[in-house]
């Protein structure tokens, strides 16, 4: 049994961290009350955890519940701490590590402004069609596209728009849900 004992990190750990960092998507069910976002974000900064992406919105109005989707990159040991520390916050109901718990869906929405005339404009439209991007605003010299999908798809679309007159991008951050019949 002693063989299981792994050295762990702390202020007093003088050697290098041996565990590799992983990217995990957490879904956090919280009471939608003033200051809840500050509590969650403050916890991450106070304990030195990094946030890659954060999305928050009310999901059940009657029960005043919000769902926070947060993407973190951390070692397995730190991930356990992040989950335990989040669950310790009084307004937090549940924390699910979607990455660890099986198959799940990830989606993000982006609004992308592209300027262009002539051939560029036609090429822009062809690519938008291929990515199923919707035109939500248009002028004779610009488009605003709405595109949803996995972050990697949005990354690709933005990369393609770069030489065609990309002006600016806004992204919502990640929303995620597990597959199958079970709810959170």
Partner 1 sequence: MAEKMTGAEMVIQALTDQGVEHIFGYPGGAALPIYDAMFQQDFVKHILVRHEQGATHMAEGYARSTGKPGVVLVTSGPGATNAVTGLTDALLDSIPLVCITAQVPTTLIGTDAFQECDTVGITRSCTKHNYLVKSIEDLPRILHEAFLIATTGRPGPVVIDIPKDIQFAVGEYFRPEAETLRHQSYRPQVDGDLAAIETAIDLMLKAERPIFYTGGGVINAGPEASENLRELAELTGFPVTSTLMGLGAFPASNPQWMGMLGMHGTYEANMAMHDCDVMINIGARFDDRITGRIDAFSPNSTKIHVDIDPASINKVVQVHVPIIGDCNRVLEEMIRIWRSRTNAPRTEAIAGWWTQIQKWRDVGSLNFKNSDTVIKPQWAIQRLYEATRKQSKEVFITTEVGQHQMWAAQHFHFDQPNHWMTSGGLGTMGYGLPAAVGVQVAHPDALVIDIAGEASVQMTMQELSTAVQYRLPVKIFILNNERMGMVRQWQDLLHGSRYAHSYSESLPDFVKLAEAYGAKGIKCDTPAELDAAIADMLDHDGPVLFDVLVEKDENCLPMIPSGKPHNEIILPDTANIGDIIDEKGRQLV
What residues make contact with partner 1 under the rule CB under 8 A?
Answer: 1-2, 4-15, 30-31, 34-35, 38-39, 42, 46, 77, 80-81, 84-85, 87-88, 90-93
For partner 1, the closer of residues 32 and 69 by Cβ is 32
For partner 1, the closer of residues 34 and 163 by Cβ is 34
For partner 1, the closer of residues 84 and 122 by Cβ is 84
Residue 46 CB, nearest approach to partner 1 (Å)? 5
Q: Are 114 and 124 in contact (CB under 8 A)?
A: yes
Residue 11 CB, nearest approach to partner 1 (Å)? 6
Report which DSSP code applies to 99. Answer: T
For partner 1, the closer of residues 57 and 134 by Cβ is 57
In whole angstroms, give the CA distance from residue 88 to residue 130.
Answer: 45
Residue 32 CB, nearest approach to partner 1 (Å)? 12
Count of CA atoms in the C-beta half-sphere (13 A) of 49: 28
Nearest C-alpha neighbor of 112 from the set 167, 55, 53, 151: 167
Could you count the other beta carbons within 10 Å of the beta carbon of residue 180?
9
Residue 97 CB, nearest approach to partner 1 (Å)? 14
| Phi, psi for 49 (deg, rounded to 5) | -90, 150
């Amino acid at each position: 049994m002693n063989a299981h004992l792994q050295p762990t990190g702390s202020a007093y750990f003088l050697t290098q961290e041996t565990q590799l960092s992983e990217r995990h998507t957490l879904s956090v069910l919280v009471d939608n009350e003033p200051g809840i976002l500050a509590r969650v974000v403050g916890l991450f900064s106070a304990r030195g955890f990094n946030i890659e992406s954060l999305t928050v919105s009310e999901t059940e109005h009657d029960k005043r519940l919000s769902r926070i989707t947060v993407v973190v990159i951390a070692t397995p040991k730190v991930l356990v701490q992040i989950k335990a520390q989040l669950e310790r916050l009084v307004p937090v109901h549940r924390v699910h590590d979607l990455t660890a718990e099986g198959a799940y869906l990830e989606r993000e929405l982006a609004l992308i402004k592209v300027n262009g005339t002539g051939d560029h404009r036609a090429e822009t439209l062809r690519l938008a069609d291929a990515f199923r991007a919707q035109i939500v605003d248009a002028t004779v010299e610009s488009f605003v596209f709405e595109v949803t999908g996995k972050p990697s798809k949005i990354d690709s679309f933005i990369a393609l728009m770069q030489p065609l007159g990309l002006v600016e991008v806004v992204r919502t951050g990640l929303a995620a849900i597990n597959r199958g019949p079970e709810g959170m």
